[in-house]
Every structure is written in C-alpha cells, then in structure tokens.
Amino acid sequence: MQTVKAAVCREFGAPLTIEEIQLDAPGIGQVEVTLDAVAICHSDISFAEGAWGGHLPAVYGHEAAGVITATGTAAGGFQIGDTVVVTLIRACGSCPNCAGGKPTICESPADNVQGPIRTKDGTPLMQAMACGAFAEKVVVHHSQIVRIPDTLSREVACLLSCGVITGVGAAINAAGLRPGQDAVVIGAGGVGLNAIQGARIAGARRIVAVDMTQEKLDIAKSFGATHGVLASAPKPWRAAQKALGGRGADAVLVTVGAIPAYDDAPKYLGWGGKVVMIGMPHAEGMATYNPMGMSYQGQGLIGSKMGDTVIQRDIPWMVDLYEQGRLKLDELISGRWRFDQINEAIADTKTGSAKRNVIVF
C-alpha cells in the first residue's frame, strides 16, 4: 500500500480538496498507472454536484493517460513501462453484452466503494466510475486500458478516454452513419465536436451543428460541420431542414444533457431517422415525445453510452487517424492546468466555453 495525492469530493457541490489517500497495490487482473494527464469531463462535474447520487467521499476523474508502474497477476499482457490511456469502460468479457461486442454496457459492474482507494485514516473512498483519476496514480482493471505509442502526447491521449470515443463512436457505431447521409449534432461542446468529426469521418453529406452561441458554431465548422444553427432561433429545426435541402436528418446526435434539447430532437429527423441520446441529464430529468409521428415515419430513439466503443478496437484506429491528420485532438484542448488548480479548471469548464481542460501532473 502507498500514499498518493488525490482531489477528494467530501460534499456535493463543494470544491474538491487535495489530500493524501491510500492506494492498494494492483491485484489479480489489475495494473497501476502513474498519470501524466487527466481531462475534466462534464460527467465528473455532474457527479460532484450530486446529479446522480453516489457515495461520499469520492474521487472522480476518468479521462486519463500515463505509464504502467506496477502490475498484478493476469494483467492482460500489459507490462511495466507501457504507455496507456485509462477509461471507465470496465468489461468482464463474459456477460451477454460483453460477449455480444458491447462492453460499454457490461452487466457486471465494479464495486466502486470497496475498491483500491481509501482515505488516509482508512475510511472507504469511492473510486468513481471505476477510475478515480483525479489522482497521481490509479489502480484499474486491465480491460479499462489501451496501449498507445510512447510518442503520443499524454495531454492529447487522455482525450481519447471519453470525449473523443463518445462523440466519434456515437456517429459511427451507434448512429451507423453511411456516406451520403445527413446528421444534426445538438451541442458543439467537447463531445459534440467529436460527434461532428465522427460524422465527417463516416462520410456524411451534410452536418448541421446546433448550439446556443455563434462562437461554438464557428468552431464546429472547423471540425467538419457544414452548417450552423442557433438553438435560440424560433423553430431551429426548420433552419436545419433548410440546410439539409428541405429534408430531415438521418441521425440527430444529442450531446448535451439539457431536457429542451431532448424534447426538440425528434423534430430534426427525416423519415427513417434516429435520435442518438448521448448527453446525460440529471437523474430526475424527463423528456416528452410524440410516439405516433415517430412510429408512422419509422423513426427511432437509441441510447449510446461511451459511443458504443470497443476500446481495444476503436482507440488504436483513432490514434492512427490523428497521426494522419484526419482526427483533430490538439484543437480540443482549451487549457492546461496544474493539479493544484483543479477547482479553477472545473469552474472554467462549467462556464461552457471550454472544449476540454486538461490537468497536467
């Protein structure tokens, strides 16, 4: 057992406190990763604000990259010195969903409370999302990590752990966009920009970004959006249909957790189209739909967790796309912050102006 520094949440909605915690040595199937960078995701913020409940005290953070510094037995072939990204996708490999190629919805969740971390005095400490990556080191199951090139910047690599795979994967894996189809992406934040990139990579004919600010719509065009529509405009779905040549979209990807966005999403659809639900509202949020119209037009609603990603398959080809210059990653980083600035980085993320803020250790 060793002591490391972590940013601990002791009260929902309160600033995180950097303190020393206890970290177990890796056990069977586990690895220890010394982190170089961790990005701040809105999911971390929602958890820390109590939006989805959970045990306290807790350590959040789940978009990380670093180097393996210890391994347990049966660690999946990983070795000390491997450079890896760390994700929250912990897969048992044998439940029906894992066996069916959907590890993001593994039916055997980890015990995040009785995990490898405790407070300095031995109190149970929740390892949120099976990661707890707002810390100098993590101990995670080997199914959660992917080996990456040593030459890849860890600040860039950590983005692949969640925001990139969630957005790109939603467009390609969940929406199944094909060349020539049209997409609407609601929300042009970190995940939304990656959904736009995913639609572009999939060969979408036209990609309409919808957001509350013109600044974000301008940025969206640099990531592949062909048109931008202000969500505050009267009936913005009409403007989107006009941009698509008078028809609705084949896929509408909702990347924000705002209920009004979910209420309006089906209005952007064309015949046979589908809404892909990505952004996660607070637990009590409820959306309303007209099922008759959707049934008649053969439309659908599907949820997509982490872009339906198979990390060992999808992250390596995304790294390859980045190295070819076909996937933007550097441009997603809005700011780099020291670990002791984590509360400032979270506050900046909450303004909505940041694409991704990265903590550099």
Give the sign of the dihedral formed by CA 203, CA 204, CA 206, CA 208: negative
**Res. 203 pLDDT band, cuts 50 70 90:** very high
Burial 183-222 (b: 16+ CB within 10 A, else e): bbbbbbbbbbbbbbbbbbbbebbbbbbbbbeeebbebbee
Euclidean distance between CA atoms 174 and 191, whole angstroms: 14
User: Measured between alpha carbons, how far is 65 from 319 in angstroms, rounded to an integer?
Assistant: 13
The yes-or-no verdict on residue 113 having pLDDT over 80 is: no
**Residue 249 has what pLDDT?**
98
pLDDT of 180 over the 90 cut: yes
The pLDDT of 335-345, averaged and rounded, is: 97
Does residue 353 surpass a pLDDT of 90?
Answer: no
Question: What is the rounded end-to-end Cα distance, in angstroms, of the chain?
Answer: 21
What is the set of domains in the chain, with CATH numbers?
Answer: 2-161+328-360 (3.90.180.10), 166-305 (3.40.50.720)
- The DSSP bridge partners found for residue 227 are 208
pLDDT at 53: 85
What's the CA gap between 283 and 16, in Å, rounded? 22
Alpha-helix runs per DSSP H in the chain: 42-48, 96-99, 154-157, 163-169, 190-202, 214-222, 236-243, 259-264, 291-296, 311-324, 342-350
**SS3 call for 203:** coil
- pTM of the complete model: 0.94
The pLDDT of residue 165 is 97
